[in-house]
Structure 1
Protein backbone atom coordinates (compact mmCIF):
# COMPACT_ATOMS: atom_id res chain seq x y z
CA UNK A 1 0.00 0.00 0.00
CA UNK A 2 1.21 3.50 -0.81
CA UNK A 3 2.80 5.33 2.15
CA UNK A 4 0.29 8.21 1.96
CA UNK A 5 -2.60 5.74 1.97
CA UNK A 6 -1.14 4.10 5.07
CA UNK A 7 -0.89 7.48 6.77
CA UNK A 8 -4.48 8.40 5.93
CA UNK A 9 -5.68 5.00 7.05
CA UNK A 10 -3.96 5.56 10.40
CA UNK A 11 -5.67 8.91 10.78
CA UNK A 12 -9.07 7.41 10.06
CA UNK A 13 -8.44 4.59 12.53
CA UNK A 14 -7.44 7.12 15.16
CA UNK A 15 -10.34 9.53 14.81
CA UNK A 16 -13.14 7.30 13.68
CA UNK A 17 -12.37 3.67 14.51
CA UNK A 18 -12.94 0.99 11.87
CA UNK A 19 -16.35 0.76 10.30
CA UNK A 20 -16.47 -2.97 10.95
CA UNK A 21 -15.34 -3.07 14.56
CA UNK A 22 -16.36 0.32 15.98
CA UNK A 23 -19.90 1.13 14.94
CA UNK A 24 -20.59 4.46 16.70
CA UNK A 25 -23.36 4.51 19.26
CA UNK A 26 -24.96 7.57 20.85
CA UNK A 27 -22.84 8.89 23.70
CA UNK A 28 -20.15 6.26 23.26
CA UNK A 29 -16.91 7.06 25.08
CA UNK A 30 -13.68 6.45 23.20
CA UNK A 31 -10.29 6.12 24.81
CA UNK A 32 -8.26 5.39 21.70
CA UNK A 33 -4.63 4.45 22.24
CA UNK A 34 -1.98 5.32 24.79
CA UNK A 35 -1.66 8.81 23.32
CA UNK A 36 -5.19 9.63 24.45
CA UNK A 37 -4.48 9.41 28.14
CA UNK A 38 -6.45 11.49 30.60
CA UNK A 39 -5.29 13.69 33.47
CA UNK A 40 -5.60 13.29 37.23
CA UNK A 41 -5.43 17.03 37.83
CA UNK A 42 -8.17 18.38 40.14
CA UNK A 43 -11.23 19.52 38.21
CA UNK A 44 -14.81 20.51 38.89
CA UNK A 45 -17.54 19.32 36.51
CA UNK A 46 -20.20 21.88 35.55
CA UNK A 47 -23.41 20.99 33.69
CA UNK A 48 -24.52 23.36 30.95
CA UNK A 49 -27.54 21.33 29.77
CA UNK A 50 -29.75 18.36 30.70
CA UNK A 51 -27.93 15.72 28.63
CA UNK A 52 -25.22 13.78 30.47
CA UNK A 53 -22.64 14.93 27.90
CA UNK A 54 -23.55 18.59 28.22
CA UNK A 55 -20.92 19.48 30.80
CA UNK A 56 -17.47 20.96 31.10
CA UNK A 57 -14.60 20.47 33.55
CA UNK A 58 -12.90 23.47 35.16
CA UNK A 59 -9.33 22.58 36.13
CA UNK A 60 -8.01 23.97 39.37
CA UNK A 61 -5.48 26.80 38.98
CA UNK A 62 -5.98 29.39 41.74
CA UNK A 63 -3.10 31.52 40.43
CA UNK A 64 -4.60 31.88 36.95
CA UNK A 65 -5.00 35.49 35.90
CA UNK A 66 -4.86 35.25 32.11
CA UNK A 67 -7.29 33.80 29.59
CA UNK A 68 -9.66 30.87 29.81
CA UNK A 69 -8.35 28.09 27.54
CA UNK A 70 -11.47 26.21 26.44
CA UNK A 71 -10.54 22.83 24.93
CA UNK A 72 -12.76 20.79 22.59
CA UNK A 73 -11.75 17.15 22.06
CA UNK A 74 -11.76 15.30 18.75
CA UNK A 75 -12.91 11.82 17.81
CA UNK A 76 -14.62 11.99 14.43
CA UNK A 77 -17.68 13.76 15.92
CA UNK A 78 -18.75 10.37 17.32
CA UNK A 79 -16.17 9.52 19.99
CA UNK A 80 -13.96 11.04 22.69
CA UNK A 81 -14.58 12.86 25.95
CA UNK A 82 -13.57 15.92 27.93
CA UNK A 83 -11.11 13.99 30.16
CA UNK A 84 -8.69 13.50 27.24
CA UNK A 85 -6.66 16.63 27.99
CA UNK A 86 -3.16 15.10 28.03
CA UNK A 87 -0.74 17.70 29.51
CA UNK A 88 -3.01 20.71 29.08
CA UNK A 89 -3.58 21.14 32.85
CA UNK A 90 0.18 21.61 33.37
CA UNK A 91 0.34 23.83 30.28
CA UNK A 92 -2.39 26.04 31.71
CA UNK A 93 -0.58 26.36 35.04
CA UNK A 94 2.72 27.27 33.33
CA UNK A 95 1.07 30.03 31.33
CA UNK A 96 -1.36 31.42 33.93
CA UNK A 97 -4.45 30.08 32.15
CA UNK A 98 -7.61 28.47 33.43
CA UNK A 99 -8.28 25.25 31.52
CA UNK A 100 -11.87 24.29 30.73
CA UNK A 101 -12.52 21.07 28.79
CA UNK A 102 -15.91 20.64 27.14
CA UNK A 103 -18.02 17.57 26.42
CA UNK A 104 -20.72 17.66 23.75
CA UNK A 105 -23.34 15.27 22.43
CA UNK A 106 -22.00 12.77 19.92
CA UNK A 107 -23.03 11.48 16.51
CA UNK A 108 -25.13 9.68 15.46
CA UNK A 109 -27.41 10.95 18.23
CA UNK A 110 -26.84 14.49 16.95
CA UNK A 111 -25.09 16.15 14.02
CA UNK A 112 -22.26 18.67 14.01
CA UNK A 113 -24.88 21.44 14.09
CA UNK A 114 -26.13 20.37 17.53
CA UNK A 115 -22.54 19.90 18.65
CA UNK A 116 -21.74 23.49 17.66
CA UNK A 117 -24.85 24.59 19.55
CA UNK A 118 -23.57 22.67 22.59
CA UNK A 119 -20.20 24.37 22.33
CA UNK A 120 -21.79 27.82 22.09
CA UNK A 121 -23.93 27.08 25.15
CA UNK A 122 -20.83 25.95 27.05
CA UNK A 123 -18.98 29.14 26.04
CA UNK A 124 -21.85 31.24 27.38
CA UNK A 125 -21.72 29.26 30.64
CA UNK A 126 -17.97 29.76 30.96
CA UNK A 127 -18.35 33.48 30.26
CA UNK A 128 -20.95 33.74 33.03
CA UNK A 129 -18.70 31.80 35.40
CA UNK A 130 -15.61 33.90 34.63
CA UNK A 131 -16.90 37.40 33.78
CA UNK A 132 -14.35 39.63 32.13
CA UNK A 133 -11.84 36.85 31.42
CA UNK A 134 -10.93 36.43 27.72
CA UNK A 135 -11.83 33.04 26.21
CA UNK A 136 -9.55 31.23 23.76
CA UNK A 137 -10.94 28.20 21.93
CA UNK A 138 -8.60 25.24 21.29
CA UNK A 139 -9.85 22.18 19.42
CA UNK A 140 -8.33 19.07 17.86
CA UNK A 141 -9.55 17.21 14.76
CA UNK A 142 -13.37 17.22 14.91
CA UNK A 143 -12.95 19.67 17.79
CA UNK A 144 -10.92 21.89 15.45
CA UNK A 145 -13.87 21.95 13.07
CA UNK A 146 -16.28 22.83 15.89
CA UNK A 147 -14.19 25.70 17.31
CA UNK A 148 -13.74 27.07 13.79
CA UNK A 149 -17.47 26.83 13.05
CA UNK A 150 -18.49 28.60 16.26
CA UNK A 151 -15.69 31.12 15.70
CA UNK A 152 -16.93 32.15 12.25
CA UNK A 153 -20.70 31.59 12.12
CA UNK A 154 -22.59 34.19 14.21
CA UNK A 155 -25.63 31.90 14.47
CA UNK A 156 -24.28 29.83 17.34
CA UNK A 157 -23.04 32.45 19.80
CA UNK A 158 -25.81 34.78 18.65
CA UNK A 159 -28.34 32.48 20.31
CA UNK A 160 -26.77 33.56 23.63
CA UNK A 161 -26.45 37.26 22.92
CA UNK A 162 -22.79 36.88 21.97
CA UNK A 163 -20.77 37.18 18.76
CA UNK A 164 -17.57 35.60 17.39
CA UNK A 165 -15.77 38.83 18.29
CA UNK A 166 -16.48 38.08 21.96
CA UNK A 167 -13.88 35.32 21.69
CA UNK A 168 -10.26 36.32 22.25
CA UNK A 169 -8.89 33.78 19.76
CA UNK A 170 -9.45 30.41 18.06
CA UNK A 171 -6.75 27.72 17.74
CA UNK A 172 -7.69 24.70 15.60
CA UNK A 173 -5.33 21.68 15.60
CA UNK A 174 -5.19 19.59 12.41
CA UNK A 175 -8.79 19.78 11.29
CA UNK A 176 -10.04 18.91 7.81
CA UNK A 177 -13.77 19.53 8.05
CA UNK A 178 -13.49 23.23 7.29
CA UNK A 179 -15.04 22.52 3.89
CA UNK A 180 -17.09 19.35 4.25
CA UNK A 181 -18.40 19.64 0.68
CA UNK A 182 -15.07 18.48 -0.75
CA UNK A 183 -15.26 14.93 -2.14
CA UNK A 184 -13.32 12.17 -0.43
CA UNK A 185 -10.60 10.33 -2.31
CA UNK A 186 -11.57 7.02 -3.92
CA UNK A 187 -10.70 3.79 -2.13
CA UNK A 188 -11.28 2.25 1.31
CA UNK A 189 -9.95 5.22 3.27
CA UNK A 190 -12.17 7.60 1.34
CA UNK A 191 -15.19 5.39 1.95
CA UNK A 192 -14.51 5.37 5.70
CA UNK A 193 -14.18 9.14 5.72
CA UNK A 194 -17.32 9.55 3.65
CA UNK A 195 -19.27 7.45 6.13
CA UNK A 196 -17.96 9.54 9.02
CA UNK A 197 -18.85 12.81 7.26
CA UNK A 198 -22.31 11.57 6.31
CA UNK A 199 -23.02 10.76 9.94
CA UNK A 200 -21.75 14.12 11.23
CA UNK A 201 -23.02 16.47 8.50
CA UNK A 202 -25.88 14.72 6.72
CA UNK A 203 -27.26 17.00 4.00
CA UNK A 204 -25.91 20.17 5.68
CA UNK A 205 -22.28 20.01 4.60
CA UNK A 206 -22.17 23.53 3.18
CA UNK A 207 -24.05 25.02 6.13
CA UNK A 208 -21.60 23.40 8.56
CA UNK A 209 -18.38 24.24 6.69
CA UNK A 210 -16.47 27.11 8.36
CA UNK A 211 -14.75 28.16 5.13
CA UNK A 212 -18.11 28.61 3.45
CA UNK A 213 -19.61 30.45 6.44
CA UNK A 214 -17.04 33.28 6.54
CA UNK A 215 -18.63 36.48 5.31
CA UNK A 216 -17.65 40.16 5.02
CA UNK A 217 -18.98 42.53 7.61
CA UNK A 218 -18.51 40.13 10.54
CA UNK A 219 -15.83 40.86 13.13
CA UNK A 220 -13.81 37.69 13.72
CA UNK A 221 -11.39 36.74 16.49
CA UNK A 222 -7.78 36.07 15.45
CA UNK A 223 -7.11 32.48 14.33
CA UNK A 224 -3.91 30.45 14.74
CA UNK A 225 -4.43 27.34 12.59
CA UNK A 226 -2.13 24.33 12.97
CA UNK A 227 -1.87 21.31 10.69
CA UNK A 228 0.59 18.43 10.40
CA UNK A 229 2.97 18.76 7.45
CA UNK A 230 2.24 15.31 6.04
CA UNK A 231 -1.54 15.71 5.73
CA UNK A 232 -2.53 17.37 2.46
CA UNK A 233 -6.24 17.75 3.19
CA UNK A 234 -5.67 19.51 6.50
CA UNK A 235 -2.94 21.72 5.01
CA UNK A 236 -5.11 22.77 2.07
CA UNK A 237 -8.21 23.45 4.15
CA UNK A 238 -6.23 25.28 6.82
CA UNK A 239 -4.83 27.64 4.18
CA UNK A 240 -8.27 28.13 2.62
CA UNK A 241 -9.82 28.93 6.00
CA UNK A 242 -7.09 31.48 6.72
CA UNK A 243 -7.54 33.02 3.26
CA UNK A 244 -11.30 33.32 3.73
CA UNK A 245 -10.81 35.03 7.09
CA UNK A 246 -8.16 37.48 5.89
CA UNK A 247 -10.20 38.31 2.76
CA UNK A 248 -13.13 39.14 5.05
CA UNK A 249 -10.92 41.49 7.07
CA UNK A 250 -9.94 39.06 9.84
CA UNK A 251 -6.56 37.87 11.06
CA UNK A 252 -5.37 34.31 10.56
CA UNK A 253 -2.04 32.51 10.50
CA UNK A 254 -1.34 28.92 9.41
CA UNK A 255 1.42 26.88 11.05
CA UNK A 256 2.70 23.56 9.67
CA UNK A 257 3.91 21.04 12.27
CA UNK A 258 6.70 18.96 10.72
CA UNK A 259 7.23 15.48 12.14
CA UNK A 260 3.98 15.33 14.12
CA UNK A 261 1.24 12.82 13.46
CA UNK A 262 -2.45 13.66 13.75
CA UNK A 263 -2.43 12.32 17.30
CA UNK A 264 0.92 13.76 18.37
CA UNK A 265 0.08 17.37 17.55
CA UNK A 266 -2.65 17.02 20.18
CA UNK A 267 -1.03 14.78 22.79
CA UNK A 268 2.28 16.71 22.81
CA UNK A 269 0.72 20.19 22.69
CA UNK A 270 0.78 20.75 26.45
CA UNK A 271 4.26 19.38 27.07
CA UNK A 272 6.98 21.80 28.17
CA UNK A 273 9.07 22.82 25.19
CA UNK A 274 6.63 21.58 22.55
CA UNK A 275 7.08 23.96 19.62
CA UNK A 276 3.40 24.18 18.69
CA UNK A 277 2.20 24.62 22.26
CA UNK A 278 4.76 27.33 23.02
CA UNK A 279 3.94 29.10 19.75
CA UNK A 280 0.29 29.10 20.80
CA UNK A 281 1.17 30.40 24.28
CA UNK A 282 2.93 33.41 22.73
CA UNK A 283 -0.06 33.99 20.48
CA UNK A 284 -2.48 33.84 23.42
CA UNK A 285 -0.36 36.29 25.41
CA UNK A 286 -0.28 38.68 22.45
CA UNK A 287 -4.03 38.68 21.78
CA UNK A 288 -5.23 38.78 25.40
Structure 2
Protein backbone atom coordinates (compact mmCIF):
# COMPACT_ATOMS: atom_id res chain seq x y z
CA UNK A 1 0.00 0.00 0.00
CA UNK A 2 2.90 2.36 0.79
CA UNK A 3 4.45 1.74 -2.63
CA UNK A 4 1.08 2.35 -4.29
CA UNK A 5 0.67 5.63 -2.41
CA UNK A 6 4.17 6.72 -3.37
CA UNK A 7 3.52 5.99 -7.04
CA UNK A 8 0.25 7.89 -6.86
CA UNK A 9 1.86 10.92 -5.27
CA UNK A 10 4.63 10.90 -7.86
CA UNK A 11 1.95 10.82 -10.54
CA UNK A 12 0.26 13.83 -8.97
CA UNK A 13 3.54 15.70 -8.94
CA UNK A 14 4.16 14.87 -12.60
CA UNK A 15 0.63 15.90 -13.58
CA UNK A 16 1.24 19.33 -12.10
CA UNK A 17 4.80 19.77 -13.35
CA UNK A 18 4.97 18.27 -16.86
CA UNK A 19 3.29 19.26 -20.14
CA UNK A 20 0.72 16.98 -21.67
CA UNK A 21 2.98 15.42 -24.29
CA UNK A 22 5.45 14.43 -21.58
CA UNK A 23 2.72 12.91 -19.46
CA UNK A 24 1.62 10.81 -22.40
CA UNK A 25 4.99 9.04 -22.22
CA UNK A 26 4.48 7.98 -18.58
CA UNK A 27 1.55 5.66 -19.24
CA UNK A 28 2.96 2.22 -19.97
CA UNK A 29 -0.12 0.23 -18.86
CA UNK A 30 -0.31 -1.80 -22.04
CA UNK A 31 -3.85 -0.95 -23.12
CA UNK A 32 -4.45 -0.74 -26.85
CA UNK A 33 -7.45 1.58 -27.16
CA UNK A 34 -7.05 4.92 -28.95
CA UNK A 35 -6.08 7.72 -26.57
CA UNK A 36 -7.02 11.37 -26.54
CA UNK A 37 -3.52 12.36 -27.66
CA UNK A 38 -4.32 10.67 -31.00
CA UNK A 39 -7.67 12.42 -31.40
CA UNK A 40 -7.92 15.29 -33.92
CA UNK A 41 -7.68 18.80 -32.47
CA UNK A 42 -10.97 20.71 -32.48
CA UNK A 43 -11.11 24.47 -32.08
CA UNK A 44 -13.83 26.08 -29.99
CA UNK A 45 -16.60 27.92 -31.80
CA UNK A 46 -16.63 30.86 -29.37
CA UNK A 47 -14.79 32.24 -26.35
CA UNK A 48 -16.74 34.27 -23.81
CA UNK A 49 -15.33 36.42 -21.00
CA UNK A 50 -17.08 36.65 -17.63
CA UNK A 51 -14.61 39.02 -15.95
CA UNK A 52 -11.72 41.40 -16.64
CA UNK A 53 -8.89 38.91 -16.01
CA UNK A 54 -7.80 36.96 -19.12
CA UNK A 55 -8.36 33.74 -17.15
CA UNK A 56 -11.99 34.66 -16.52
CA UNK A 57 -13.19 33.14 -19.78
CA UNK A 58 -14.56 29.91 -21.19
CA UNK A 59 -14.55 28.24 -24.59
CA UNK A 60 -17.77 26.98 -26.13
CA UNK A 61 -17.48 24.22 -28.69
CA UNK A 62 -19.95 23.37 -31.48
CA UNK A 63 -23.44 23.75 -30.04
CA UNK A 64 -25.84 20.89 -30.73
CA UNK A 65 -28.73 23.23 -30.03
CA UNK A 66 -30.91 21.45 -27.49
CA UNK A 67 -28.98 18.84 -25.49
CA UNK A 68 -27.30 19.03 -22.10
CA UNK A 69 -24.22 21.18 -21.57
CA UNK A 70 -21.01 19.73 -20.16
CA UNK A 71 -18.69 22.33 -18.61
CA UNK A 72 -15.13 21.09 -18.02
CA UNK A 73 -12.97 22.46 -15.18
CA UNK A 74 -9.28 21.64 -15.75
CA UNK A 75 -6.79 20.50 -13.12
CA UNK A 76 -3.23 21.58 -12.39
CA UNK A 77 -2.81 21.92 -8.64
CA UNK A 78 -4.86 25.15 -8.54
CA UNK A 79 -1.83 26.98 -9.93
CA UNK A 80 -1.51 25.91 -13.57
CA UNK A 81 -3.44 24.32 -16.42
CA UNK A 82 -5.49 25.73 -19.27
CA UNK A 83 -9.05 25.50 -20.53
CA UNK A 84 -7.67 24.15 -23.83
CA UNK A 85 -6.78 20.86 -22.04
CA UNK A 86 -9.95 19.16 -23.32
CA UNK A 87 -8.34 16.02 -24.83
CA UNK A 88 -11.14 13.86 -26.33
CA UNK A 89 -14.04 15.86 -24.87
CA UNK A 90 -15.10 17.67 -28.09
CA UNK A 91 -15.59 14.36 -29.90
CA UNK A 92 -17.21 12.85 -26.80
CA UNK A 93 -19.72 15.70 -26.66
CA UNK A 94 -20.52 15.35 -30.36
CA UNK A 95 -21.09 11.58 -30.07
CA UNK A 96 -23.49 11.96 -27.17
CA UNK A 97 -25.39 15.04 -28.30
CA UNK A 98 -23.83 17.33 -25.68
CA UNK A 99 -22.55 20.89 -25.93
CA UNK A 100 -19.05 21.25 -24.48
CA UNK A 101 -17.75 24.28 -22.63
CA UNK A 102 -14.35 24.49 -20.93
CA UNK A 103 -13.56 27.21 -18.43
CA UNK A 104 -10.38 28.66 -17.06
CA UNK A 105 -10.14 30.43 -13.70
CA UNK A 106 -7.72 32.61 -11.79
CA UNK A 107 -4.84 30.63 -10.32
CA UNK A 108 -2.80 30.43 -7.13
CA UNK A 109 -0.74 32.10 -5.82
CA UNK A 110 -2.40 35.21 -7.26
CA UNK A 111 -5.68 34.08 -5.71
CA UNK A 112 -6.87 31.31 -3.40
CA UNK A 113 -9.09 28.39 -4.35
CA UNK A 114 -12.04 30.48 -3.14
CA UNK A 115 -11.60 32.97 -6.00
CA UNK A 116 -11.02 30.08 -8.43
CA UNK A 117 -14.34 28.56 -7.38
CA UNK A 118 -16.08 31.92 -7.69
CA UNK A 119 -14.80 32.05 -11.27
CA UNK A 120 -16.21 28.60 -12.03
CA UNK A 121 -19.57 29.71 -10.65
CA UNK A 122 -19.47 32.90 -12.71
CA UNK A 123 -18.74 30.87 -15.85
CA UNK A 124 -21.77 28.66 -15.11
CA UNK A 125 -23.97 31.74 -14.68
CA UNK A 126 -22.77 33.30 -17.93
CA UNK A 127 -23.30 30.06 -19.81
CA UNK A 128 -26.77 29.66 -18.31
CA UNK A 129 -27.60 33.18 -19.48
CA UNK A 130 -26.38 32.53 -23.02
CA UNK A 131 -28.00 29.10 -23.37
CA UNK A 132 -31.05 29.28 -21.08
CA UNK A 133 -33.24 26.35 -20.15
CA UNK A 134 -30.65 23.64 -20.75
CA UNK A 135 -29.19 21.35 -18.06
CA UNK A 136 -25.56 22.06 -17.12
CA UNK A 137 -23.23 19.36 -15.81
CA UNK A 138 -19.87 20.20 -14.27
CA UNK A 139 -16.95 17.87 -15.04
CA UNK A 140 -13.74 18.46 -13.09
CA UNK A 141 -10.38 16.70 -12.95
CA UNK A 142 -7.95 16.79 -10.00
CA UNK A 143 -7.94 20.36 -8.64
CA UNK A 144 -10.79 21.03 -11.07
CA UNK A 145 -12.75 18.24 -9.41
CA UNK A 146 -12.27 19.97 -6.06
CA UNK A 147 -13.55 23.26 -7.53
CA UNK A 148 -16.52 21.55 -9.21
CA UNK A 149 -17.40 19.83 -5.93
CA UNK A 150 -17.09 23.08 -3.98
CA UNK A 151 -19.38 24.92 -6.39
CA UNK A 152 -21.77 21.95 -6.29
CA UNK A 153 -22.19 21.91 -2.49
CA UNK A 154 -21.41 25.35 -1.06
CA UNK A 155 -24.21 27.85 -1.82
CA UNK A 156 -21.87 30.83 -1.41
CA UNK A 157 -20.40 30.41 -4.89
CA UNK A 158 -23.42 30.08 -7.15
CA UNK A 159 -25.30 32.31 -4.73
CA UNK A 160 -22.89 35.11 -5.61
CA UNK A 161 -24.26 35.02 -9.18
CA UNK A 162 -27.92 34.51 -8.36
CA UNK A 163 -28.00 30.71 -8.60
CA UNK A 164 -27.89 27.75 -6.22
CA UNK A 165 -26.19 24.33 -6.32
CA UNK A 166 -29.42 22.56 -7.29
CA UNK A 167 -29.46 24.65 -10.49
CA UNK A 168 -26.73 22.29 -11.71
CA UNK A 169 -28.04 19.12 -13.33
CA UNK A 170 -25.12 17.09 -12.01
CA UNK A 171 -21.44 17.07 -11.01
CA UNK A 172 -18.86 14.58 -12.33
CA UNK A 173 -15.52 14.32 -10.55
CA UNK A 174 -12.34 12.69 -11.89
CA UNK A 175 -9.81 11.67 -9.21
CA UNK A 176 -10.15 14.82 -7.18
CA UNK A 177 -7.99 16.16 -4.39
CA UNK A 178 -8.83 18.32 -1.41
CA UNK A 179 -12.43 17.25 -0.78
CA UNK A 180 -11.28 17.43 2.83
CA UNK A 181 -8.19 19.64 2.83
CA UNK A 182 -7.88 19.29 6.61
CA UNK A 183 -7.11 15.56 6.42
CA UNK A 184 -3.74 14.54 7.95
CA UNK A 185 -0.72 14.40 5.66
CA UNK A 186 2.33 12.17 5.81
CA UNK A 187 5.80 13.69 6.11
CA UNK A 188 7.65 12.23 3.10
CA UNK A 189 9.14 14.51 0.40
CA UNK A 190 6.23 14.04 -2.03
CA UNK A 191 3.76 14.58 0.81
CA UNK A 192 5.58 17.78 1.70
CA UNK A 193 5.38 18.94 -1.91
CA UNK A 194 1.64 18.25 -1.92
CA UNK A 195 1.33 20.06 1.39
CA UNK A 196 2.92 23.16 -0.12
CA UNK A 197 0.52 22.91 -3.07
CA UNK A 198 -2.46 22.72 -0.70
CA UNK A 199 -1.14 25.55 1.47
CA UNK A 200 -0.68 27.80 -1.55
CA UNK A 201 -4.24 27.17 -2.72
CA UNK A 202 -6.06 27.09 0.64
CA UNK A 203 -3.93 29.12 3.04
CA UNK A 204 -5.70 29.28 6.39
CA UNK A 205 -9.07 28.49 4.78
CA UNK A 206 -8.65 24.72 4.45
CA UNK A 207 -11.87 23.87 6.31
CA UNK A 208 -13.94 26.55 4.58
CA UNK A 209 -12.67 25.36 1.18
CA UNK A 210 -13.27 21.63 1.80
CA UNK A 211 -16.44 20.47 -0.02
CA UNK A 212 -16.86 17.54 2.37
CA UNK A 213 -17.09 19.95 5.31
CA UNK A 214 -19.58 22.27 3.60
CA UNK A 215 -22.40 19.74 3.13
CA UNK A 216 -25.48 20.47 5.24
CA UNK A 217 -28.49 18.21 5.97
CA UNK A 218 -31.63 19.16 4.13
CA UNK A 219 -29.93 21.28 1.48
CA UNK A 220 -30.74 20.55 -2.18
CA UNK A 221 -27.71 19.26 -4.07
CA UNK A 222 -27.24 18.08 -7.64
CA UNK A 223 -26.47 14.38 -8.12
CA UNK A 224 -22.77 13.49 -8.03
CA UNK A 225 -20.85 10.86 -9.99
CA UNK A 226 -17.42 10.47 -8.39
CA UNK A 227 -14.58 8.58 -10.11
CA UNK A 228 -11.26 7.81 -8.49
CA UNK A 229 -8.17 5.86 -9.51
CA UNK A 230 -8.67 2.47 -7.87
CA UNK A 231 -5.14 2.13 -6.49
CA UNK A 232 -5.05 5.64 -5.04
CA UNK A 233 -5.97 5.17 -1.40
CA UNK A 234 -6.33 8.83 -0.45
CA UNK A 235 -8.62 9.65 -3.36
CA UNK A 236 -10.70 6.52 -2.72
CA UNK A 237 -11.20 7.43 0.94
CA UNK A 238 -12.07 11.06 0.24
CA UNK A 239 -14.37 10.14 -2.65
CA UNK A 240 -16.30 7.70 -0.47
CA UNK A 241 -16.50 10.19 2.38
CA UNK A 242 -17.83 12.90 0.07
CA UNK A 243 -20.49 10.57 -1.34
CA UNK A 244 -21.51 9.35 2.10
CA UNK A 245 -21.90 12.91 3.35
CA UNK A 246 -24.06 13.84 0.37
CA UNK A 247 -26.25 10.78 0.86
CA UNK A 248 -26.62 11.47 4.60
CA UNK A 249 -27.73 15.00 3.71
CA UNK A 250 -30.44 13.59 1.43
CA UNK A 251 -28.59 13.88 -1.86
CA UNK A 252 -27.58 11.30 -4.47
CA UNK A 253 -23.99 10.28 -5.09
CA UNK A 254 -22.21 7.29 -6.60
CA UNK A 255 -18.52 6.39 -6.33
CA UNK A 256 -16.89 4.46 -9.18
CA UNK A 257 -13.28 3.19 -8.98
CA UNK A 258 -11.24 3.26 -12.20
CA UNK A 259 -9.09 0.11 -12.06
CA UNK A 260 -7.03 0.65 -15.21
CA UNK A 261 -6.22 4.33 -14.91
CA UNK A 262 -3.64 6.62 -13.35
CA UNK A 263 -4.26 10.18 -12.22
CA UNK A 264 -3.23 11.36 -15.70
CA UNK A 265 -4.95 8.79 -17.91
CA UNK A 266 -8.34 8.99 -16.18
CA UNK A 267 -8.68 12.47 -17.65
CA UNK A 268 -6.75 11.97 -20.89
CA UNK A 269 -8.80 8.94 -21.91
CA UNK A 270 -12.14 10.22 -20.65
CA UNK A 271 -14.33 10.60 -23.72
CA UNK A 272 -12.32 8.31 -25.98
CA UNK A 273 -14.76 5.88 -27.63
CA UNK A 274 -15.12 2.85 -25.38
CA UNK A 275 -13.56 4.45 -22.30
CA UNK A 276 -15.57 2.97 -19.38
CA UNK A 277 -15.53 6.13 -17.27
CA UNK A 278 -16.68 8.31 -20.14
CA UNK A 279 -19.44 5.91 -21.11
CA UNK A 280 -20.59 5.64 -17.49
CA UNK A 281 -20.73 9.44 -17.30
CA UNK A 282 -22.75 9.59 -20.53
CA UNK A 283 -25.36 7.30 -18.96
CA UNK A 284 -25.39 9.57 -15.90
CA UNK A 285 -25.99 12.64 -18.08
CA UNK A 286 -28.48 11.14 -20.52
CA UNK A 287 -30.39 9.19 -17.90
| TM-score under structure 1 length normalisation | 0.91
Residue 101 (structure 1) aligned with residue 102 (structure 2): yes
In structure 2, stretches of 5+ residues that fail to align are: 25-35
Counterpart in the other structure of 1:22: none
Asked which structure has the greater RCO (Cα within 8 Å, sep 6+), the reply is 2
Q: CA deviation at 1:108?
A: 0.4
Counterpart in the other structure of 1:180: 181
Residues 204 and 121 (structure 1 numbering): CA distance in 2 closer, same or farther, change over 3 Å? same
Contact 1:172-1:225 within 8 A present in 2 as well: yes
Q: Give the Cα–Cα distance (whole angstroms) in 2 for the partners of residues 260 and 233 of structure 1.
A: 15
**Equivalences, count:** 273
Counterpart in the other structure of 2:249: 248
Runs of 4+ in 1 over 2 A off after TM superposition: 1-4, 30-43
Contact 1:31-1:80 within 8 A present in 2 as well: no
Q: CA deviation at 1:42?
A: 3.7
Counterpart in the other structure of 1:43: 45
Counterpart in the other structure of 1:155: 156
Which SS does the other structure have where 2:166 is aligned? helix
Residues 32 and 81 (structure 1 numbering): CA distance in 2 closer, same or farther, change over 3 Å? farther
1:76-225 equivalences in 2 (<5 Å): 76-225=77-226
Moved more, 230-239 or 1-10: 1-10
Contact 2:8-2:263 within 8 A present in 1 as well: no
Which SS does the other structure have where 2:115 is aligned? helix
Q: Deviations over 1:221-266 (max 9, x none)?
A: 0000000101011000000000000000000000000010001110
Counterpart in the other structure of 1:55: 57
Residue 73 (structure 1) aligned with residue 62 (structure 2): no
1:271-282 equivalences in 2 (<5 Å): 271-282=272-283
Which SS does the other structure have where 2:72 is aligned? strand
Which SS does the other structure have where 1:255 is aligned? strand
In structure 1, stretches of 5+ residues that fail to align are: 19-29
Over aligned residues, Cα RMSD in angstroms? 1.7
Counterpart in the other structure of 2:22: 33
Q: CA deviation at 1:104?
A: 0.3
